[in-house]
Copies of this chain bind each other. A is one copy, B any other.
């Protein structure tokens, strides 16, 4: 087996560390052709680690996706699958992983050139779906999702070697500032925050009460947010946010009555396919991290 060097070690030390990104953010020097991607969008992505396209999908398209999602959520085979996350009490479906394998409608969405051509350009390569899912965050009791770099997880738990993947979140409901929207730290894609891995010494006990594997430390987060601020893309249903795999992001809880649903696709470079997880753990299931079922889009 080929041994791949770990360019981004994490979860090994008792103290967090900050390292500089070792990969380009935009993996091509070519100009975008302007059909699916504009030069200023590429510039924003390179600078901030994300960009937002309002109304990338129109109302009719969003209604079709919402209808399909409602049908899927009502199907017993979907609900009972390991790919679905349901709420303990009500049994309501909160997430469906590998959504593009469950539904032609979502498979077509995953292949839509408005998404794929953007990913192909930014990654400078053919792309495949590393992960897909639909999320339905309820009103009144939507839970927070703490800050994280997706890449840190995909690197350590899935064996993704390099920072050469891009996520797209498509809002299926309106993103308000108040209903637990995605928050991103502009510029954070350039820094790799290595997370604490071993149970630390006594003086860390306090700050680590909530700490789990892959959780960035508060000092590093404060530094990133002081430098870059916090961006909260809001917009109507149909708004798409493209963000780089190492961009630090999270979301607050949601006590408002307004739920929040989105479709989420991770495009990875064909040259960046996952190998052995860098944490040495067992690979996660195929529906969380594609390993066998790879086909360029």
Contacts and interface: CB of A to CB of B under 8 A. Distances in A.
* Max chain B Cβ within 10 angstroms of own Cβ: one of A147, A250, A253: A253
Interface string A210-225: 1000000010011001
A221 B251 CA distance: 22
A204 interface: no
A36 interface: no
A206 B206 CA distance: 35
B144 A89 contact: no
A180 interface: yes
B176 A89 contact: no
A256 B225 contact: yes
A253 B252 contact: yes
Given A144-B253, A176-B230, 19 more contacts: A90-B206, A139-B218, A140-B221, A141-B210, A147-B255, A177-B178, A178-B232, A178-B252, A221-B257, A225-B256, A225-B257, A225-B258, A226-B257, A230-B258, A250-B255, A251-B255, A252-B255, A252-B256, A253-B253
A226 B230 CA distance: 28
A102 interface: no
Contacts of A257: 218, 221-222, 225-226
A209 interface: yes
A206 B139 CA distance: 15
A180 B230 CA distance: 13
* Max chain B Cβ within 10 angstroms of own Cβ: one of A178, A232, A250: A178
A232 B250 CA distance: 20
* Max chain B Cβ within 10 angstroms of own Cβ: one of A140, A146, A251, A255: A255
A135 interface: no
A258 B147 CA distance: 13
A226 B257 CA distance: 9
Contacts of A209: 89
Contacts of A254: 252
Contacts of A144: 253, 255
A183 interface: yes
A221 B256 CA distance: 8
A123 B141 CA distance: 35
Contacts of A140: 218, 221
Contact of A177 (B146, B147, B232, B255): B232
A232 to B, nearest CB: 5
